[in-house]
Amino acid sequence: MICEKIERIQAEVRASALRCGRNPDSVKIVAVSKHVPLATIRAAQECGQSIFGENYLQEAAGKISQLNSNGSLQWHFIGHLQSNKAATAAELFQVIQTVDRLKIAVALNNQATRLNKQLEVLIQVNVGREAQKSGVLPEKAEALLREMQPLTALRVRGLMTMPPYGQEPEASRPYFQALKQLAGQLAKANLFHDNEAVELSMGMSGDFAVAIEEGATLIRIGTAIFGERAR
């Protein structure tokens, strides 16, 4: 069952990419595995899924210790991160997608330096300006990236966003367009680790096809692979 769902998502990703003239290999699926039992994640791994996203550090720690013994999986942290949890996050994850303030960036950099590790990060941008959501406001993203330039243990790969919830996938398009435009401006200012290959993490189970059309390189898929879970 899991294999069938993953294969279906892969086929939809390929079709969406080809439809807009993109290389399907430029889009990676992050399987959002919060509240998913080990056996189910292992089944997804056996079906070829190698990137997983987790929202909660304590939950993720147990999974990663049991599933990642050979280092074949890549783990992305996609939840809200507090600076006092930076040590755990830096140790467990290869990518932190939710950096949105300098305090978090400094804490992660200090811990990555301690671990002698290069930690990849994305800047979370609150494109919808929703008070209940984390993320730097678009007009403050450049200042944050400039403040982060001295943090040499961090590789700022790109941007991430969660648009306002909409009933229809098309409702997300303006927010995806805004994130891509912002990424282009920041790349022109040479503020990413690789300004020629900027990651855009946007799009979930309900709107990832639209996200791909607007330039997503990472799509975060949970429900379409693992089904409904408690939030």
Could you tell me the domains of the chain?
2-226 (3.20.20.10)
Helix (H) or strand (E) holding 219: strand 218-221
Residues 13, 29: contact at Cβ < 8 Å?
yes
Q: What percent of the chain has pLDDT over 90?
A: 91
pLDDT at 182: 98
Q: How many whole angstroms separate alpha carbon 227 and alpha carbon 182?
A: 33
Confidence of residue 231 (pLDDT cuts 50, 70, 90): low
Q: How many whole angstroms separate alpha carbon 104 and alpha carbon 87?
A: 11
Q: Which is more confidently placed, 228 or 90? A: 90
Helix (H) or strand (E) holding 218: strand 218-221
The predicted model gives 23-48 an average pLDDT of 95
Backbone angles phi, psi at 217, to 5 degrees: -110, -20
pLDDT at 70: 64
Q: How many whole angstroms separate alpha carbon 160 and alpha carbon 23?
A: 20
The structure tokens listed for 215 are 């330039």
pLDDT higher than threshold 90 for residue 212: yes
Q: Cα-atom radius of gyration of the chain, to the nearest Å? A: 17
The predicted model gives 16-28 an average pLDDT of 97
Q: How far apart are the first and last CA of the chain?
A: 22
pLDDT at 69: 59
Of 130, 68, 138, 49, nearest to 100 by C-alpha is 138
The predicted model gives 40-57 an average pLDDT of 95
- Tens-digit pLDDT profile for residues 124-152: 999 999 989 999 999 999 999 999 999 99
Q: How many whole angstroms separate alpha carbon 90 and alpha carbon 201?
A: 19
The predicted model gives 168-179 an average pLDDT of 96
Q: How many whole angstroms separate alpha carbon 203 and alpha carbon 206?
A: 8
pLDDT at 72: 83
- Tens-digit pLDDT profile for residues 87-128: 999 999 999 999 999 999 999 999 999 999 999 999 999 999
pLDDT higher than threshold 70 for residue 68: no
Highest mean pLDDT among 127-131, 154-158, 161-165: 154-158
Is the alpha carbon torsion for 5, 7, 9, 11 positive or negative? negative
pLDDT at 123: 98
Q: How many whole angstroms separate alpha carbon 104 and alpha carbon 85?
A: 9
pLDDT at 137: 98
- DSSP letters of 25-60? GG-EEEEE-TT--HHHHHHHHHTT--EEEES-HHHH
The predicted model gives 218-229 an average pLDDT of 92
The predicted model gives 166-171 an average pLDDT of 90
